A and B are shown apart, each in its own frame.
Chain A
Amino acid sequence: MLADYREFHPDFPINPGEDADDEEQRKAARNELKTLAGHRSRFGGNFSQLEARLNGRLEDTSFEAYTATQIDLGDLSKILNTETASLPLVELDPEYFDKIDEYDVQPGQFGASETPILIPIQIEDDIVIYWDPLADYYDNSTTNPVEMTLSETTFLRLWSRAERARWTLWLDGQEQKKMAEFMDIDQ
């Protein structure tokens, strides 16, 4: 998602390091992302501070991170069609894993599973087209992300059933914000 966003907005200051020249740069980039996500080895990251951490990092830039819950497909479409906005991240119910063939997720001894995180890229003709980072992890045939699809109905059902119903994160770089700041100074 970040790599894709940087392709169109090279000024975006957080570099996920996928285009890094050497291992050291890649590692530094990974560490920055881990810090932003509050990630600790095996323990994982938390979302409660994610937006604040990202915005702390994006202070003094024209970019901003947003999270929302309870948004609908129309809102999601709006984000997807906003040129200055990144692709969104969404959380789905773990039942999602039963719907796909690309890989298999087996819950542990207490039945706890992974929470799927997807990157929708387009909604059209009652279909949601998306990238699934885990499918990319398992697919080594191509460097491009694997495009997958779910029907709008299934997507909406699984998106609504996630714990934070319809949780979504995206970035936006509003040129207007810069303009507004200039105008403030001028006055």
Chain B
Amino acid sequence: MSIQETRISDEALTFPAGTGEASVKNRIEGHLRYHYSRRLFVQDVEESEDGYYIKVGIAYPRDVSDCRKQDNVLKMVNIGDVQTLYASPMDEGYYRMKLPDRSDLYDAFKQRHQDILTRLDWSMARAIYSKVYKLTPVRNQLNSVIEIVDFIRHETPDSVRRLENAQTTSNTRDYLDVFEELGYIRIEDGTMLQGPKMESADIQGLQEKDIIGDIIDEGYYLLRQKLGLAMLNHFPKFANAYYLSALRRSDPELHLSVEDIAENLQAEYQDGTTDTWKLGRKLDSLHDVGVLKFQDKEVTSREDVYNSVEPNIPSLG
């Protein structure tokens, strides 16, 4: 075989394995970075009987400087597990790795990043639900959920039709599907009965607010995706535009300006709410219900919120 070194041609990377996993990382990382992105990194190399499995991630910079101290800190966010590449053995200690398209790797990265944010939003939704519950837009959107909980607790057993007729929403049935899926109701021949979750909530003497909190906790994805309850992640998203940076720096005392928050929204959520007046109003609401502190155009943590999200967060980078 005449190949002398590591190289990329015909959409494939060929390399000599050298002395094992660490050597493989050193040999190929630069080439993959040059080919795909300056921000790619090799997260892990695993040798197996049939070749090497190489896990890659993306490292991108986020400014997490404290606006009070002006301490100029650039935090590298490492998004791992973006894709696993496989290199099969060839002759004479060489390996060949077929390279996916750059756009496929980019799509895999976007998906992975999105998954991490969704999990963070969920953690935040659980942590702040009882606070944002008081905000009018949240209450309005959860109105159907609140009504159904009340109906199950006080009117069942009764017919699904009665509830459908009484509710102004046209998709009562969709809500009931979610409630049934989560175990809060049972439906038998058009009759609604309390499900095991609701029976247990009653035995524990839970308040309406706590029951709805549990429903959001367990049904976050379902409620959002099946019923389009965008408010469930609306406020968590604005809260996270601050807490993302604080959590990444492990600094609940971090102060960010409104401009920093706008930049986080844009960079992480691709949300163009960059008008500081509009953003200020959202932050005011979150301040009023105790999700974060927003004073003199600066945002900082609420200790209870920081502490309840911190242990549950996915690896943010």
Contacts and interface: CB of A to CB of B under 8 A. Distances in A.
B35 interface: yes
A74 interface: no
B78 A112 contact: yes
Nearest to A115: B38
Interface stretch (B69-77, B133-141, B161-169, B194-202): B69-77
B95 interface: no
B38 A104 contact: no
Nearest to B73: A104
A139 B33 CA distance: 29
A103 B80 contact: no
Band of interface residues on A: 20 to 34
Interface string B67-104: 00001111111101000000000000000000000100
Nearest to B317: A108
A109 B29 contact: no
A137 B73 CA distance: 11
A42 B58 CA distance: 8
A8 interface: no
Contact of A46 (B36, B65, B78, B109): B36
Contact of A109 (B33, B102, B249, B317): B317
B76 A107 contact: yes
B61 A114 contact: yes
A102 B70 CA distance: 11
Nearest to A101: B72
Q: Is the interface of A mostly helix, strand, loop or mixed?
A: loop
B80 A110 contact: yes
B270 interface: yes
B106 interface: yes
B71 A48 contact: no
A44 B73 contact: no
Interface string B104-130: 001001100100000000000000000
A113 interface: yes
Contacts of B58: 42-44
A99 interface: no
A177 B247 CA distance: 55
A108 B59 contact: yes
Contacts of B40: 44
A144 interface: no
Given A47-B38, A109-B317, A110-B57, A163 B30 contact: yes
Interface string A153-179: 000000000011000000000000000
B159 interface: no
A104 B29 contact: no
Nearest to B64: A106
A68 interface: no
Interface string B1-36: 000000010000000000000000000011001111
A110 B109 contact: no
Contact of B71 (A44, A46, A104, A115): A104
B314 to A, nearest CB: 11
A180 interface: no
Contacts of A115: 38
A46 B110 CA distance: 17
B313 to A, nearest CB: 12
B58 to A, nearest CB: 6
Contacts of B30: 163-164
Contact of B38 (A42, A45, A107, A138): A45
Nearest to A91: B38
B233 interface: no
A1 B61 CA distance: 21
Given A44-B38, A48-B35, A106 B73 contact: yes
11 contacts: A42-B113, A45-B37, A46-B38, A105-B76, A107-B59, A109-B78, A110-B41, A114-B74, A138-B72, A163-B29, A163-B34
Interface of B: 8, 29-30, 33-41, 43, 57-61, 63, 65, 71-78, 80, 102, 106, 109-110, 113, 249, 267, 270, 315, 317
A-B interface, 4 closest residue pairs, ranked by CB to CB distance from nearest:
A108-B78, A163-B30, A112-B59, A44-B39
